[in-house]
Amino acid sequence: MPEKKDNRVIVTVIGADRVGIIASVATIIADAGANILDISQTILQGEFFTMIMVIDMNDAKASFDQLRKALEEKGKELGVQIMAQHEDVFKFMHRI
């Protein structure tokens, strides 16, 4: 069955590289009952961590706001910026 696209979330993470960023973010997403559809991450110039994820929230047990708040709190703990946006908002803000 094809995935529904009406409840997808874009998660971005930016900050200094350190151990455990991906694991911490993935754990919060899994605990929320959401599914990671796609992930891309890179380390720029050996020290700057960047990651973007596409998350499916269709079967999540947590709301978007609960997920967003949990990710933002984890970002503060890790010293990185984590932002979650509905896919349509992300596309609108980043259109050319």
CATH level 2 (architecture), domain 8-93: 2-Layer Sandwich (3.30)
Report the pLDDT averaged over residues 46-73. Answer: 96
Domain residue limits, the chain:
8-93
- Give dist(CA 3, CA 34) in Å, integer: 13
The angle subtended at Cα 90 by Cα 76 and Cα 3, nearest 5°, is 105
pTM (predicted TM-score): 0.84
Buried b (16+ CB within 10 A) or exposed e, 59-86: ebebebeebbebbeebbeebebebebbb
pLDDT category of residue 1 using cuts at 50, 70 and 90: very low
Among all chains, which residue has been given the structure tokens 């919060």?
Answer: 28
pLDDT at 86: 87
- Give dist(CA 61, CA 78) in Å, integer: 24
Percent of the chain exceeding pLDDT 70 equals 84
